Amino acid sequence: MLSADLVIVACMAYVALLFAVAFFGDRRARRGPGGWLSSPLVYTLSISIYCTSWTFFGAVGSAVRNGLEFATIYIGPTIVFVGWWVFLRKLVAVGRTYHTTSVADLISARFGKSSALGALVTIIAVVAATPYIALQLKALTASFQVLTYPAGAVAAANLNLKPDFAIAFWVAAGLCAFSIIFGVRNINVNERHHGVIAAIAVEAVVKLVALVAVGLWVVLGNEGGPTAMFADAPANLTNPADTFGSRWVSLVILAGAAVICLPRQFQVTVVENTSERQLRTASWLFPLYLFLICLFVIPIALAGLQRLPEGSNPDLFVLTLPFSADQGTIGLLAFLGGFSSATSMVIVSSIALSTMISNHLVMPLALSLRLAPDASARLMRRFILTARRVSIVFIVFLGLLYYRLSGSFDALAAIGLISFCGVAQFLPSLVGGLYWRRATQAGALAGLAAGFAIWAYTLFLPSFEGAFLLPASAIADGPFGLGWLRPHALFGLSRLDPLVHALFWSMTANLALFFGVSLLTDPTPLARYQSRLFIDIFRRQTESELSVMRRTAKIRDLRGIADRVLGAGEAVSLFASQNTRDHAMTASDELIATVEQRLAANVGAATARALVSSVVTSETISVEELKRLADETEQIRAYSEELEQKSREIEATADELARANRQLRAIDERKDEFLSQVSHEVRTPMTSIRAFSDILLQTPDMPAAQKQRYLRVIQEESLRLTRLLDGILDLNQPGDSGARATPAPFDPELALDQALASCEALARAAGVGIVRAKRARRAIVDGDRDRLAQVFVNLLSNAIKYNGTRAPEVVIASRVRKGRYEATVSDNGPGVPEAEREAIFAKFARGAAAGQTGAGLGLAISRQIVTGFGGTLTVAESPQGGAAFTVSLPVAQPQSSAGTTD
Amino acid sequence: MSARDTERRGGDDKRGTRDLASVLPFAAIFLFLPPFVLTFTAPLALGGIPLIVLYIFGVWALVILCAAIVASRLAGAGARDQAFRRPDEPAKD
């Protein structure tokens, strides 16, 4: 026997160690995420919380009673974890991506953030967890009692001691304290509890080491090898054919379901997960842990049967075996291992369940009944924390109550399986919710409620053996003597094991109603939206999907809610990117979603949605759009549409590039044309300069006066050439043609004369007769004389050059009419076809008619100049049948308007 | 071998590993559950240990070994995929 004081001191020392680990874990987490806290190893060890005192003590008991059956409890999770790629990966990705806080949160969020569903799942989870927590309290109490029994542990285990509820009470109180101190100190965005996880990881190591130590001690101390060991093995181990019946299958299914659905497993596997890497490692490391835990169960069971007196409680073999051989140290280690496995389970379960209770039961009620102190953030947070703390105490003491009420002689495994069957009811909604789009909220509610009711009736209530609600007579013969309603033989199905029977009926009802009601009802728009997010978690969402839900809310209102629930500090960081002056403005869809997500971490998805909806002024979810998008082919269509749109954009860009290219080519072409035109323009005065200089050179004895005249022409032409080049520069400056020279009043006739003089040589060379007809008198226009002369030179030279008739003649006439000075240059050449009369003035345009090789820029420049003076340059048919170009300019002085002459 | 061949082979490897990862749980179910498991329930003992005990623990170890191989191969493939996070996935904390 160990003294109670020593055991208590050992426990206290151990708890102190856990506190230290949890404390440093929390501190490490506050310094920043990552590090060893988020390593796959710690993650896997935290999942090992699956192995509770049911495993530590109960597995051996189960092996003694039912042979290999104990292994099913670990084979089920092994299958689920090695098959992580099929289901767990999706579940964990959904939980991680959408910051799920509990299994109730996930199911409620998937089915349209339904608060009813969240509440139902929470109630089921709490009720189902009760026997499980009772199991831990029972194991703790029993092991403590056995260890401290005055007559020795072996004798105690043989006695079937009456449970000491005082010990149970203090154990429960201690567990509450630890859970509250480390689990509910603060409200996290993701409900991640780094400190607790670190402590749990340590406990996982302790229980494995303890069990392996006992196992090794048993195996190594065994003389005679395996043959001797299995000599007295129970029949179900040596002749196991009967083990593999419906109960074997049911237990594998139940254990596989439990490792997903148990609130604490969901907490450590999904909520605390930070990356897929963790899960990938856990996929083989966690089964390996289970394998190692189970490896020594059979040897310990066999050794216990051989070495301990007949009638010893097999659930305590792990503890009593070392003491029977006076191995106090190993015994104490075994006790600590069991202590460890029980405490970690209770702590994490109560934390997970308290979050669920506060988020899905207390907060929705408090908010709808206006009990929550929503005036101040501090009070609100305190309210939430208090709700969680009270929930923890409630859960643990509910377990204690179950322990008190239920038959206290049950095997540990049998109690645990009641819980497993209860939480397995979540499986259809959970799996269906992640794979089946048609699943509706009503279907999930109906299935869960029916499964829960049948479980409670066929398994949970009978486990009290008449002490609670269902009297013993009703359990034996059915309520009111109705035999077909017997809890263990519903509808006369009496040949099944009670557990298999309960699983069969509850799952049948659950599945039937889940599928049936889902098919009969339509999902709400939000449920459709959520189902798309959850089911297609690994598929890239198309843009059209993400924009299906549109909400509008004022930033100020959102901020108000965030302040109240999250506290000012977090709210500030949440709205940091928003301009404070814009608070009356409408919040973006993303901001609303972010706020809702943060709120969900504190009060659950359904409550968060209710809160946000209270300030959202309009919400539209296009059901048609969602329905359309739900179709598989429609997804492909949406993709191809997106691709098409992209390719259209690319095409448009390509078109634009092609157009730019064409433009550049055209400009390049025009540049070439322009250059040739410039040469042409420059050539005209050059020709006349050459012609006059030729004459001067060939006739040295020319009269001085004539020589003088010719030289002046040459000079004028060179000057004009200079000015022409200036003009070309002008022309290249867009939009300011003729603006360089400051306009001044001048007599246009002078410009005309200047032009005539410069063309004289050209005309003579071409044999063209120039007739000076009517002249305008006293006409004054505003502008630049040289430029006007340039225009006339252009017109005259064109008229001279392109006149192919036998007796070419150019007639020049000018007059002032209706306030306009008009000068006409007409010829008897081929004329300009009516269709081309506007085209020939286009800049850089060539005349289309044959022989019009160089024309174009001259006229364009001319028109530009004339237009710059506020006049017009037009072409018409001349009286001689050729072309008649008319320059019309507004006269500058009103008095000359009357002076129409000749 | 050209770079493209290597890439294609890598893709095949990855696909193969994923298929293996999907098949593994079903293989485990087949091996652990009746009727297949019943073939090993004969009251035999190998070296003093009943056949069924050896079978269950042997298959268990084998399944874990396969899972470890799959996980390590997926980890190799995952490292190459790291750059391709879903664009709309919220940032992880």
CA nearest neighbour of A787 among A736, A855, A737, A821: A737
- What does the mean pLDDT of chain A come to? 83
A877 vs A893: CA distance, rounded Å: 30
B45: nearest CA in chain A?
A: A238
- What does the mean pLDDT of chain B come to? 76
- Tell me the three state secondary structure of residue A6: helix
Q: What is the mean pLDDT of residues A619-629?
A: 67
Query: What pLDDT, on a 0 to 100 scale, did the predictor assign at position A189?
Result: 46
Q: Is the pLDDT of residue A786 over 90?
A: no
Banded model confidence at residue A491, pLDDT cuts 50, 70, 90: confident
Q: How many domains does chain B have?
A: 1
For the ranges A548-557, A892-901, B43-52, which has the lowest average pLDDT?
A892-901
Inform me whether the C-beta atom of residue B55 falls under 8 Å from chain A C-beta atoms: no
Query: What pLDDT, on a 0 to 100 scale, did the predictor assign at position B92?
Result: 37
Higher pLDDT, A780 or A653: A653
For the ranges A397-401, A616-620, A820-824, A882-886, which has the lowest average pLDDT?
A616-620
Hey, of A31, A43, A66, A68, which one would you mutate to test binding to chain B, going by the most B CBs within 10 A of its CB? A68
Higher pLDDT, A902 or A129: A129
Is there a contact between A284 and B67 if contact means CB atoms under 8 Å apart? yes
Query: What pLDDT, on a 0 to 100 scale, did the predictor assign at position A857?
Result: 61
Work out the percent of chain B whose per-residue pLDDT is above 70.
69
| Residue of A71, A239, A287 with shortest CB distance to B67 | A287
Query: What pLDDT, on a 0 to 100 scale, did the predictor assign at position A79?
Result: 96
Is B59 domain-assigned?
yes
For the ranges A29-38, A220-229, A464-473, A871-880, which has the lowest average pLDDT?
A29-38
Hey, of B17, B20, B85, B93, which one would you mutate to test binding to chain A, going by the most A CBs within 10 A of its CB? B93
Higher pLDDT, A522 or A33: A522
Is B92 domain-assigned?
no
Residue B37 belongs to what domain range? 19-81
Is B68 domain-assigned?
yes
CA distances to A20, A326, A417, A762 from A6, in Å? 21, 16, 34, 133
Is there a contact between A85 and B21 if contact means CB atoms under 8 Å apart? yes
Banded model confidence at residue A295, pLDDT cuts 50, 70, 90: very high
Query: What pLDDT, on a 0 to 100 scale, did the predictor assign at position A448?
Result: 96
Q: pLDDT tens digits, residue range A587-602?
A: 777 788 888 888 887 7
**Chain B residues near residue A277 by CB distance under 8 angstroms:** 75, 78
Domains of chain A in start order, with CATH, are 4-379+392-424 (1.20.1730), 540-630 (no CATH), 737-898 (3.30.565.10)
β-strand partners of A809: A769
| Residue of A99, A240, A546 with shortest CB distance to B41 | A240
Banded model confidence at residue B1, pLDDT cuts 50, 70, 90: very low
Q: Is the pLDDT of residue A436 over 60?
A: yes
Q: Is the pLDDT of residue A693 over 70?
A: yes
**Chain B residues near residue A574 by CB distance under 8 angstroms:** none
A269 vs A94: CA distance, rounded Å: 12
Strands A809-817 vs A769-772: parallel, antiparallel or unpaired: parallel
Q: What is the mean pLDDT of residues A346-368?
A: 88
Q: pLDDT tens digits, residue range A748-769?
A: 888 888 888 888 888 888 888 8
CA nearest neighbour of A95 among A276, A218, A236: A276
Q: What is the mean pLDDT of residues A724-740?
A: 57
A234 vs A827: CA distance, rounded Å: 133
Half-sphere exposure at residue A521, Cβ-oriented, CA atoms within 13 angstroms:
20
Query: What pLDDT, on a 0 to 100 scale, did the predictor assign at position A540?
Result: 65
Q: Is the pLDDT of residue A123 over 90?
A: yes
CA nearest neighbour of A690 among A656, A713, A674: A713
A177 vs A171: CA distance, rounded Å: 10
- What residue ranges in A577-636 does DSSP mark as E strands? 616-621
Higher pLDDT, B89 or A343: A343
Q: Taking CB atoms and an 8 Å cut-off, how many pairs form between chains A and B?
A: 132
Inform me whether the C-beta atom of residue B18 falls under 8 Å from chain A C-beta atoms: yes
Work out the percent of chain A whose per-residue pLDDT is above 70.
88
- Farthest CA pair distance, chain B: 59
Query: What pLDDT, on a 0 to 100 scale, did the predictor assign at position B88?
Result: 41
Q: Find where tokens 């970690």 sit.
A: A344
Is there a contact between B33 and A252 if contact means CB atoms under 8 Å apart? yes
> What is the complex's ipTM, to 2 decimals?
0.85
Is B88 domain-assigned?
no
Higher pLDDT, A743 or A121: A121
Banded model confidence at residue A737, pLDDT cuts 50, 70, 90: very low
Is there a contact between A276 and B78 if contact means CB atoms under 8 Å apart? yes
Q: Is the pLDDT of residue B9 over 60?
A: no
Query: What pLDDT, on a 0 to 100 scale, did the predictor assign at position A545?
Result: 58
**Chain A residues near residue B25 by CB distance under 8 angstroms:** 79-80, 82-83, 86
Work out the percent of chain A whose per-residue pLDDT is above 90.
25
| Residue of A288, A298, A538 with shortest CB distance to B64 | A288
Q: Three-state secondary structure along A278-308?
A: HHHHHHHHHHHHHHHHHHCHHHHHHHHHHHC
Is B13 domain-assigned?
no
| Residue of B34, B63, B71 with shortest CB distance to A244 | B34
| Residue of A86, A238, A241 with shortest CB distance to B38 | A241
Packing angle between helix A632-698 and helix A857-868, nearest 10 degrees? 90
A294: nearest CA in chain B?
A: B57
Is B89 domain-assigned?
no
For the ranges A199-208, A513-522, A876-885, which has the lowest average pLDDT?
A876-885
Q: Is the pLDDT of residue B64 over 90?
A: yes
Q: What is the mean pLDDT of residues A359-388?
A: 81
Q: pLDDT tens digits, residue range A139-190?
A: 888 888 888 887 776 677 666 677 788 888 988 998 898 888 877 666 554 5
Hey, of B14, B23, B29, which one would you mutate to test binding to chain A, going by the most A CBs within 10 A of its CB? B29
Contacts from B65-70 at CB under 8 Å and sequence distance 24+?
A: B65/A284, B66/A82, B66/B20, B66/B24, B67/A81, B67/A82, B67/A283, B67/A284, B67/A287, B67/B24, B68/A284, B68/A288, B70/A82, B70/A85, B70/A283, B70/A284, B70/B17, B70/B20, B70/B21, B70/B24
**Chain A residues near residue B54 by CB distance under 8 angstroms:** none
Q: What is the mean pLDDT of residues A13-32?
A: 84
Query: What pLDDT, on a 0 to 100 scale, did the predictor assign at position A398?
Result: 92
Query: What pLDDT, on a 0 to 100 scale, did the predictor assign at position A423?
Result: 95
**Interfacial B residues in 67-86 facing A (CB < 8 Å):** 67-68, 70-71, 74-75, 78, 86
Query: What pLDDT, on a 0 to 100 scale, did the predictor assign at position A639?
Result: 74
Packing angle between helix A115-147 and helix A103-110, nearest 10 degrees? 160
Query: What pLDDT, on a 0 to 100 scale, did the predictor assign at position A212?
Result: 93
Is there a contact between A291 and B60 if contact means CB atoms under 8 Å apart? yes
Query: What pLDDT, on a 0 to 100 scale, did the predictor assign at position A900?
Result: 41
β-strand partners of A618: A552
Is there a contact between B37 and A244 if contact means CB atoms under 8 Å apart? yes
Is there a contact between A284 and B86 if contact means CB atoms under 8 Å apart? no
Is there a contact between A80 and B25 if contact means CB atoms under 8 Å apart? yes
Is there a contact between A82 and B66 if contact means CB atoms under 8 Å apart? yes
Query: What pLDDT, on a 0 to 100 scale, did the predictor assign at position A628?
Result: 62
Is B38 domain-assigned?
yes
The listed range with the strongest mean pLDDT (A150-159, A295-304, A780-789, B39-48) is A295-304
Query: What pLDDT, on a 0 to 100 scale, did the predictor assign at position B79?
Result: 52
For the ranges A211-215, A726-730, A849-853, B56-60, which has the lowest average pLDDT?
A849-853
Higher pLDDT, A622 or B2: A622
Banded model confidence at residue A781, pLDDT cuts 50, 70, 90: confident
**Chain A residues near residue B60 by CB distance under 8 angstroms:** 71, 75, 78, 287, 291
Is B11 domain-assigned?
no
Query: What pLDDT, on a 0 to 100 scale, did the predictor assign at position A285?
Result: 95
Query: What pLDDT, on a 0 to 100 scale, did the predictor assign at position A157?
Result: 67
Query: What pLDDT, on a 0 to 100 scale, did the predictor assign at position A435?
Result: 92
Q: What is the mean pLDDT of residues A670-694?
A: 81
Q: What is the mean pLDDT of residues A35-61?
A: 89
